[in-house]
Amino acid sequence: MKKSTHWVKNLTRTAVIAALYTVLTIVLSPIGYGPIQCRVAEAMTVLPVFSLVPVWGLTIGCLLSNMFAIFTGNTIAGVWDILFGTLATLVAALLSYKFRNVRYKGLPLLSLVFPVVLNGVVIGAELTIVEVGKLAPKLYAFNALTVSAGQLVACFIGGLILFKAFEKTKLFQN
């Protein structure tokens, strides 16, 4: 494949992933923001298991979704979510890619742990600091656990369904 064709294909994949992430989050925005949330688009965090390309699409999609939340008043975290929420998604996606070959019974379970843990830790802290002005331990534990629980549902149910579907279609092969 020509280098320019390969570049265009990767750019298109990145754009499609970013758009899908953003649209899913916007359409399901009532459950995608706040201390008790389940951002369904996070199921797509399994995609870095197949390629590095989805890392950038997920990051851009998260950034756009968090910007949308600010403009519509759907987030209490505000600009902090644009910075730290997007950074958490980027780091989780990069770690998912790095550990993509660590499998249990053929499933990339470790790669799915990173978005759950990092978003729980980062978004939990972000929400707590915005709510009370400091990292109050009990509220932080609540926020971290509820965000992680939503991530767990999105990543381990939706993500594994996506993994099996993409594995069969070999969409990210080559």
Looking at residue 146, which CATH number applies to its domain? 1.10.1760
- Residue 143 within any structural domain of the chain: yes
What is the model's pLDDT at position 76?
84
Mean pLDDT of the chain: 92
- Residue 155 within any structural domain of the chain: yes
Distance CA(49)–CA(69), nearest Å, equals 28
| pLDDT confidence band for 168 (50 / 70 / 90) | confident
Tens digit of pLDDT for each residue in 34-78? 778 899 999 999 999 999 999 999 999 999 999 999 998 888 888
Whether residue 174 has pLDDT greater than 60? no
Q: Which two tokens stand for residue 11?
A: 């750019």
Higher pLDDT, 94 or 78: 94
- Residue 153 within any structural domain of the chain: yes
Task: Using alpha carbons, list the distances in angstroms from residue 100 to 39, 50, 135.
Answer: 22, 8, 33
Count of domains in the chain?
1
Distance CA(81)–CA(63), nearest Å, equals 9
Chain-centroid distance of CA 154 in Å reads 9
pTM above 0.85, yes or no: yes
Which alpha helices (DSSP H) does 28-158 contain, by range?
A: 29-32, 53-72, 79-80, 86-98, 109-132, 137-153
- Residue 174 within any structural domain of the chain: no
Count of other CB atoms within 10 angstroms of residue 20: 15
- Residue 22 within any structural domain of the chain: yes
Chain-centroid distance of CA 64 in Å reads 12
Lowest mean pLDDT among 17-21, 31-35, 47-51: 31-35
Query: What separation, in Å, do the N-terminal and C-terminal C-alpha atoms of the chain show?
Result: 10
What is the model's pLDDT at position 1?
56
- Residue 18 within any structural domain of the chain: yes
The 3-state secondary structure of 114-146 reads HHHHHHHHHHHHHHHHHHHCCCCHHHHHHHHHH
Cβ contacts of 156 within 8 Å, gap of 6 or more: 109, 112, 116
Residue 68 sits in which domain range?
Answer: 3-169
